[in-house]
Each structure stands twice: as C-alpha cells, then as structure tokens.
Amino acid sequence: MARMAREQWYDIARDLDWELSYVDYDAVFPEWMSGRGKIPREAWAKWDEPYKVTYPDYVATQREKETGAYSVKSVLKKSRVFEQLDEGWKSVAKQHFGAVALIEDLAVYAELRMARFGLSPAWRNMAIYGALDETRHTQISLAFPHELVGKDPQYDWAHKAYQTNEWGIIAARATFDGMMMNPNVVDVAIQLPFTFETGFTNVQFVALAADALESGDINFANMISSIQTDEARHSQQGGPTLEILVEHDPRRAQWIIDKTFWISARLFAILTGPAMDYYTPLAMRKQSYKEFMQEWIAEQFINQIRDYGLKKPWYWDEFMAGLDTWHHSLHLGVWYWRPTVWWKPQGGVSPEEREWLREKYPRWEEQFGRIWDVIIDNINHNRMELTLPETLPWLCNLCNLPIGTAGSPHNEKYPVRSYPLKHNGYTYHFCSRPCRQIWWEDRDTLHNPTVIERLLRGSIQPPTVEGILTWMGLTPDVMGDDAYGYRWAKPYAPEPAA
Amino acid sequence: MTETQDTGMQAEEIAAPPDEGQPVPINAMFEDDFVTQLVLVLDTDTIDEAARKVAAQVVGRRVPPRDAGLVVRFDGKVIPGDTTVARSGISPLDIVNVGWAQRTPRPQRTRVPDNRGGRR
C-alpha cells in the first residue's frame, strides 16, 4: 500500500484538537496545572515548534544515537582508559553523574506534565518526545557509571545522591523541584526548556564535552554529547510558549525568566565552575568558566530574550560580577568541607594553576589567595585538623548554598555578608539580594528547610559533625578527600634548613 | 561489620552542655573569611568568649592569626567584651560580625616559589 507523503498528514497529526463535550475544559486543563493566566484560549492555536519530527524519524534517529554511544562504551570497556584518567577529572564525572542522572528522571515528569496539560496539541506532541528523550538520558546517565561502581564506590552516587540529604543535593533538589514539579506547565516551559535547557545545559554538556575529550574521557564526552543533541531539540518547546506569553503577559514572562536564570546561575557556579577552573587538568582546559559563561550564556541569552522583546534581568550587573567570584568561593567551600561531598575535589591551586587563575581572574589572589595560603601552610606543617571543618557554613534560604559565596572577601560591591529578612517573627538569611527577592515573591511555594535549619530544629541527631555526615549518607568509603593527596601544596613547603 | 575510617574531623558536640546557659545559634562572620558560619554560643558567654568561639572556626584555618584583640559588632554597633550575650541583645539566628581590633592590612601579593617552572 502506498504511504501518504509526510507533508500531507503531519500538520493534522501534530496539531489535532477538538471541542470537549462530555467534560468541562477547565476540568481537563485546570488553571493550577495549565497556567493560562491572562492568555486567551484561542491564542494557543499559534503555538508552532521550529523543529518538526515524526515518530518513525524520531525512533530511527534515537536508535542511531544509542548505538553510537553504547558501541564506544563497549569498545572502551576493554581498554585501560579509565585507569589512566586524571583523578581530578574523574571528580568532574562523579559530580555530574550524582547531580544530573536522576534530574534527567525528574525531567521525564516535567515533560509528561507538559504533554498532559499543555494547551496546544502541537506542544503536547513535542513534550512526548521530550519525555522519551529524558528517559533515555536517565538510562544512559545511570548505565555509564554503573560499570565503574566496582572500581570506585563514589560512582554509586549516580543513583544514590538524590536519595540522600547531602547538602548540595538538597540545593539541587530545591532548585529543580521549583523548576519542574511545583509550577504550572506554562511556567515549566519557560523555566526548563527555555531558560535552563537553552542556556545552562550548554555549559554542562558542551563545555564539559570539550574538556572531557581533552582529558581523555571519551566515554563521558560521548555520553553527554549524545544527550545534548536531544536537549537542543526539545528545548525548543520554550520559544513558542514564551512568544505567546510575552504577547499576553510580558511581566509574568520576564519574572519567570529572571528568577530561573538567577537560581540556575547559582547552581552552575558550584556544578560547573569548579569543574572547569579547578578539577580539569591545567593542560586540558579549553576556556575558563568565566570565558565560557560570557560567550555561551551571557551574550547568547541576552540576545535571545531581546528577540522576544524582554529586558535584561534586574540583577544583570551582579550576575556578571559574580563570574569573577562565585565559583571560586564555592570551590573553596567544597574543598574545605570536602568530607560532605561524594567526589574528591582537586585543590587546583598549585603554583602553575595559581598563575593561570591570576591570569584569568586578576583579583583572584587578593580575594582568595590569602585564604589558600593559610590552608597550604597547614597542609605543609601537617596540621590537617585545621583544614577540616568543625561546623557548617550558614546556608541561603533560597539557593541553599553557603552565605558569602555570592560575594568574596575584599570585594567592595559584593562583600561576604548575609542579606536577612524577618518574616512572621522568623529571620531568614540569603546569600544575595536577588535570592531574597525571589524568595519573597515565591515564598508560598518554597518549603525546603536548609541543612542549618534542620540541624537547629533537632532533625539531625546526634548534632555533631559525624552525625551530620551520617545524616547526609556519607560513609567513610565515599566521603570526599583531596584528589591528589595534597601533593599540589608541596611546592610551597619551605626548603629544609641545610 | 563494616570497618570505619577516621574522617580526620573532630566530633565536637554542637549541642551545649547542660546547666551552662542556653545555646544561642548565631550566623557568624569573621573578617576576611569567605563564608558566614553557624556558631553556637551560650547566653551566659561574655562577648569576648563568644568572639573566641567564632574565631576558633576561622583563625588559623582560613585567616592568618594576628597579635590583636577581637571586636564584636552586632546591629551596627561594637559590643563591649565584658557584657554577656544575653545582655547584648543577640538572639538565635542573628548576624554577628567578629573582626580584629586593628584594621586588617590589604593583602600582599602572595609568595610564589621560584621553582614553579612554566605552564604545562
């Protein structure tokens, strides 16, 4: 039987809708899930995805991608590539697997929510592909580290991390719940595909793919490149949704983008910043985190939102200034509180690396160098107890990251300080004015207590450092330590007296 | 039974011992540090004692020791060292700033060993 040409049926199939007669429209698409707001129902007829695909084409392409990724994995299994990888680089992969693998799974549900409650059939159709994509991403992100579990138990956290109360995971869980699970689907489309996937996944999947290849981790590069090709497609659900929202409610569109960009930027400063500027071996670094963010995020993002008639977020200067400091502060924090993470943070401040940091970040020495000098001195005099924490940093009530890390020491404009807010007789603390502003606007949907609050409420017993680590699920075989056994500090050691 | 390793961290009780005043958890900032931290002081502590508890989490760890006294600022004011936490008005969750009695000099260019070689 002759098959109908695709152009004859495609538009009808992808955009098939009908008037409901047995049920109320509002019962099928309730406001709290569908998020129509000020957008009239007929406006959704204009929803048009820029990238069109049929199911047979989709399956054929995905099959090819899967075959490619798993073939490379299979070949490399027999090699000694993994054993030769740099320990600092391995930490990049471990951090990625733990922080990202099950977020891909959460994204399945976000896509399915859009597939069910999206107000245009074309959008619902596109979201089905998105859900299938994210299912593949979850599977591949769990399969690749799984075979390494026997070699290093830290890889087990690819699956375990989100089942724990590890502090970074609490930060990520709060952020992604706010992006994918709490909001209505119009907000999800602006937050997840438009702001997060169009912008920030580039940082993790494009930048890290380049660094992974340079570092010899072909498997990891191969896996995240394969994922990124899907992201590039399904992220396009954001644009058509934003176009309609901007036309009918530009203020709402601007707010959703502004808050999502800020919280994503805070999270990526800990997820990708240290990976690019400290963990990736010096000789393998392609660009600094700041350079990459300026090129791939700042410039592209601003051009993109201007195309939709939107403005720069109100905090733009603060975000740009933060590219010089946030990830350095967060790296220092992760390294100092290293038993609280599931990877081995590389110090990354050997004399050669320090020279690179000074070149890329002219104020790094003044702002962070002196702190590292104290740490280095303690390492070289075997005062290791002073390089380990006895308490916790205070955590931001919005981003859950340590207060101070949205600024830096010796920073006149953005100093190390808390931005408190007293509300209903309780003092909340924030790392920055934007975090405080976002919390205030969204406070009715934010219910995640910080680790500090849980500790003070008695949820962590015993309330000791050991008790906190146990509560976070960090067993001694997994908790982080310096990637190189502190050898990067040795060149600073005083010469022994002759 | 799983063998456990020494984490190298001291298992200090964060909860206060009984009969020695009520614990007051503060959000403490020490001058030149890069984060603020949870420090438990007691309402019966003098401000000097509270300052030392904050300094113990920072000085010699991330900020170099100095031969200088400590100053506590709360709500924009310097608090006398001999008053108690309770009398100073410091309450749980408050921000308390601790610094040196003398102004911190600007950081010097850090020493870099001569044997560092070129970039790889």
Which member of B8, B38, B95 has the closest CB to residue A385? B8
A479: nearest Cα among A347, A278, A348, A345: A345
Query: In terms of pTM, does the model score above 0.95?
Result: no
Best of A378, A391, A435 to disrupt the B interface by mutation (most B CBs within 10 Å)?
A391
Whether residue A174 is contained in a domain is answered as: yes
What CATH homologous superfamily does B23-100 map to?
A: TmoB-like (3.10.20.270)
- Mark yes or no for CB contact B109/A365 under 8 Å: yes
State the nearest Cα–Cα gap between B81 and chain A, in angstroms.
Answer: 22
* pLDDT band at residue A478 using 50, 70 and 90 as cut-offs: very high
B85: nearest Cα among B59, B51, B35: B51
Which member of A351, A416, A476 has the closest CB to residue B116? A351
What's the rounded mean pLDDT across residues A210-223?
Answer: 83
Best of B62, B63, B97, B116 to disrupt the A interface by mutation (most A CBs within 10 Å)?
B62
A231: nearest Cα among A110, A116, A137, A99: A137
Which member of B8, B36, B64 has the closest CB to residue A374? B64
Assess A464–B contact: CB distance below 8 Å, yes or no. yes
State the nearest Cα–Cα gap between B4 and chain A, in angstroms.
Answer: 6
Best of A214, A416, A419, A461 to disrupt the B interface by mutation (most B CBs within 10 Å)?
A416
- Mark yes or no for CB contact B116/A463 under 8 Å: no
Identify the pLDDT of residue B72: 98
What's the rounded mean pLDDT across residues A280-302?
Answer: 90
Separation between Cα atoms, residue B86 and residue A29, nearest integer Å: 56
CB A145 within 8 A of CB A165: no
Strand partners, B25: B40
The Cα-based distances of A72 to A61, A85, A95, A144, A217 in angstroms read 17, 17, 22, 11, 11
- Mark yes or no for CB contact A283/B62 under 8 Å: no
Determine what percent of chain A is predicted with pLDDT higher than 90.
75
- Mark yes or no for CB contact A465/B116 under 8 Å: no
Residue A270: domain span: 48-492
Residue contacts between A and B (CB atoms, under 8 Å):
167
- Mark yes or no for CB contact B32/A409 under 8 Å: yes
Q: How many CA atoms lie within 13 A of B99 on its CB side?
A: 14
Identify the pLDDT of residue A79: 75
- DSSP assignment letter at B74: E
Segments of chain B scoring below 70 in pLDDT: 1-19, 103-120
The pLDDT tens digits of the residues spanning A110-137 come to 999 999 999 999 999 999 999 999 999 9
CB contacts of A333 in chain B (<8 Å) are: 34-35
* pLDDT band at residue A321 using 50, 70 and 90 as cut-offs: very high
Number of helices followed by number of strands (H, E) in chain B: 2, 5
Which member of A392, A463, A469 has the closest CB to residue B37? A392
Identify the pLDDT of residue A332: 98
- Mark yes or no for CB contact A491/B38 under 8 Å: no
* pLDDT band at residue A77 using 50, 70 and 90 as cut-offs: confident
Whether residue A39 is contained in a domain is answered as: no
A233: nearest Cα among A12, A48, A50, A15: A50
Identify the pLDDT of residue B24: 97
- Mark yes or no for CB contact B61/A282 under 8 Å: no
What's the rounded mean pLDDT across residues A57-73?
Answer: 89
Measured between CA atoms, the residue of chain B closest to residue A467 is: B11
Identify the pLDDT of residue A346: 94
Measured between CA atoms, the residue of chain A closest to residue B118 is: A352
What's the rounded mean pLDDT across residues A237-246?
Answer: 94
CB contacts of A403 in chain B (<8 Å) are: 27, 35-36
CB contacts of B109 in chain A (<8 Å) are: 365
Identify the pLDDT of residue A498: 55
Which member of A356, A402, A464 has the closest CB to residue B11? A464
What's the rounded mean pLDDT across residues A236-245?
Answer: 93
Residue with tokens 């190298």: B8
What's the rounded mean pLDDT across residues A301-305?
Answer: 90
Measured between CA atoms, the residue of chain A closest to residue B113 is: A492
Q: Which of A313-317, A318-322, B12-16, B79-83 has the lowest mean pLDDT?
A: B12-16
Query: What integer best gives the mean pLDDT of chain A?
Result: 93
What's the rounded mean pLDDT across residues A454-471?
Answer: 95
Assess A461–B contact: CB distance below 8 Å, yes or no. no
Specify the higher pLDDT residue, A138 or B116: A138
- Mark yes or no for CB contact A390/B13 under 8 Å: no
Angle between helices A121-146 and A55-77 (to 10 degrees): 10
Whether residue A19 is contained in a domain is answered as: no
Identify the pLDDT of residue A314: 97
Whether residue A14 is contained in a domain is answered as: no
Q: In total, how many domains does chain A have? A: 1
CB contacts of B37 in chain A (<8 Å) are: 391-394
Give the CATH number for residue A376: 1.10.620.20
- Mark yes or no for CB contact A452/B38 under 8 Å: yes
The pLDDT tens digits of the residues spanning A389-428 come to 999 999 999 999 999 999 999 999 999 999 999 999 999 9
What's the rounded mean pLDDT across residues A353-369?
Answer: 98
- How would you write chain A as a 3-class SS string? CCCCCHHHHHHHHHCCCCCCCCCCHHHHCCHHHHCCCCCCHHHHHHCCCCCCCCHHHHHHHHHHHHHHHHHHHHHHHCCCHHHHCCHHHHHHHHHHHHHHHHHHHHHHHHHHHHHHHCCCHHHHHHHHHHHHHHHHHHHHHHHHHHCCCCCCHHHHHHHHHHHCCCHHHHHHHHHHHHHHHCCCHHHHHHHHHHHHHHHHHHHHHHHHHHHHHHCCCHHHHHHHHHHHHHHHHHHHHHHHHHHHHHHHCHHHHHHHHHHHHHHHHHHHHHHCHHHHHHHCCHHHCCCCHHHHHHHHHHHHHHHHHHHCCCCCCCCHHHHHHHCCCHHHHHHHHHHHCHHHCCCCCCCCCCHHHHHHHHHHCCCHHHHHHHHHHHHHHHHHCCCHHHHCCCCCECECCCCCCECCCCCCCCCCCCCCCCCCEEECCEEECCCCHHHHHHHHHHHHHCCCCCHHHHHHCCCCCCCCHHHHHHHCCCCCCCCCCCCCCCHHHHHHCCCCCC
Q: Is the pLDDT of residue A286 over 60?
A: yes
Identify the pLDDT of residue B17: 52
State the nearest Cα–Cα gap between A64 and chain B, in angstroms.
Answer: 39
